[in-house]
Amino acid sequence: MADVRPDVVKLDMALTQGIECRPTHRTLVRSLVRACRELGIAVVAEGVETTSTRDALRELGCSLQQGYLFARPARPFVPVQF
């Protein structure tokens, strides 16, 4: 992260799903969110499918989330050309 300086870091669902009952994952996410905040990098958690996962991530400081809890994937928008 120091060399690339991304605008956004996305947390894989392997790390976020079931985080409410995985202490090691909670520690990792808390640390990543804190480091990203200090570096000015936004953090997005993917794979949020339950309210308990959503709430646990919010408690850890990760407010940007995506997953089936919020919406199903949509078809891409293809503009009509005339």
Active site residue 49: no
69 phi/psi in degrees, rounded to 5: -60, -35
The catalytically annotated residue of 20, 38, 46, 49 is 46
Contact predicate 19/51, CB 8 Å: no
- C-alpha 52/C-alpha 48 separation (Å) is 9
User: Would you please indicate which residues are annotated as catalytic (active-site) residues?
Assistant: 46
